[in-house]
A and B are shown apart, each in its own frame.
Chain A
Amino acid sequence: DAMVIQNPRYQVTQFGKPVTLSCSQTLNHNVMYWYQQKSSQAPKLLFHYYDKDFNNEADTPDNFQSRRPNTSFCFLDIRSPGLGDAAMYLCATSRDLSGQPVQYFGPGTRLTVT
């Protein structure tokens, strides 16, 4: 089945220790998104890639970076995680931004910062 995969499902990192979360897709979609979701809150868009074009949200901290080496993979790098970065991180894809905007989500990675 075509799908969106996130690894790992659970990640524990230490305060200040860089961490990378991974997302892959077999849908061949042009757009890949990263959302941060804290408990009882809405998923908050951090950034998205349209093909190789990176689009950062204005309020996304510099601590968060992303890489998309090819169509299938997208990574979220947190350079120096703080306690406030503990959250569920959701990866999503869509075929495009306008005509086919339905998003397909991965299962999420729950990040714990100790």
Chain B
Amino acid sequence: AQRVTQPEKLLSVFKGAPVELKCNYSYSGSPELFWYVQYSRQRLQLLLRHISRESIKGFTADLNKGETSFHLKKPFAQEEDSAMYYCALRANTGGFKTIFGAGTRLFVKA
């Protein structure tokens, strides 16, 4: 079964510290992975997708097929990074359904 697991509901770091939001997935095929973000009082929006291999707002994420992980990283957290982060997996077959994780709330302290 397809599943996305974000083990941390809340992650609190100090400004300037590195941050890593964990995401593990379960999928038998070759998935496409995304990170979506929801800032306070804003709508859910795409942060980055693995096939783009981009760094967005200083965040990067590498797909590790061996560990079935897609952790989101940033070397120096900023207060404006405080938000809810959702990892999502899109199946590449059978209806192309997207499955979301339960989310991790990142709180960056001054």
Contacts and interface: CB of A to CB of B under 8 A. Distances in A.
B43 A107 contact: yes
Nearest to A92: B44
A70 interface: no
B47 to A, nearest CB: 11
Contacts, number: 46
B contact patch SS: strand
Nearest to A45: B97
A55 interface: yes
Given A40-B9, A42-B86, A43-B86, A105 B43 contact: yes
Interface in B22-69: 32, 34, 36, 43-46, 49
- Interface size grouping (class) on chain A: 20 to 34
B11 to A, nearest CB: 14
A112 interface: no
